[in-house]
Structure formats: structure tokens, C-alpha cells
Copies of this chain bind each other. A is one copy, B any other.
Amino acid sequence: MKYSITVTLKKDVLDPQGKVVENTLKNMGLNSLKSVRQGKYFEIEVEEKNEKVADKEVTQMCEKLLANLIIEDYKINKL
């Protein structure tokens, strides 16, 4: 089973990396830009055939390693 995971900073957490991208794009002349927030993206393949078990494992991966739950949110999608 294949999953895609996005990890984003929580709304109130400063995102200096996104700010740099935003400023760079503005300097390139893209003036209608309002804001950029940057996050992480993972594509994960799991051998487990049982959907429920696989879902649980991917959730575990997010909570234990991929996302820092204090400052980040994660979203899991099936591919």
C-alpha cells in the first residue's frame, strides 16, 4: 500500500524557510504573491496487506519520527 504524507508547521509557528522562498519569489517580480509556507512531503510504501494495520503503522511512523507534534501537523493520504 502506498501513502503520501505532508507535514506542515502549525499555523502560529514561524516559518523562516518559507519566508525566504516568499521574499525570493517577490524579488523575481511575482508581486501578487501573498504568503508561502514550507513543509515536508513523504511517499511511503508498506508491504502490509491489511489496510487497517497498514494505516496504523503509517500513523505510528508520523507520530514517532516524521512529525514533531509540538510544532507540526501531519496529513496522511492513500495513493
A76 contacts chain B at the CB level, 8 A cutoff: no
A23 to chain B, nearest CB (A): 11
Q: Assess whether B57 is in contact with A21, with CB atoms less than 8 Å apart.
A: no
Oligomer copy total: 2
The distance in angstroms between the C-alpha atoms of A46 and B32, with both chains bound, is 6
Interface size on A, residues (CB 8 A): 34
Q: Given contacts A30-B61, A65-B28, are A42 and B36 in contact (CB under 8 A)?
A: yes
Q: Assess whether B41 is in contact with A57, with CB atoms less than 8 Å apart.
A: no
Q: Which residues of B contact A43 (CB under 8 A)?
A: 8, 36-39
Q: Which residues of B contact A54 (CB under 8 A)?
A: 32
Q: Which residues of B contact A6 (CB under 8 A)?
A: 4, 6, 41
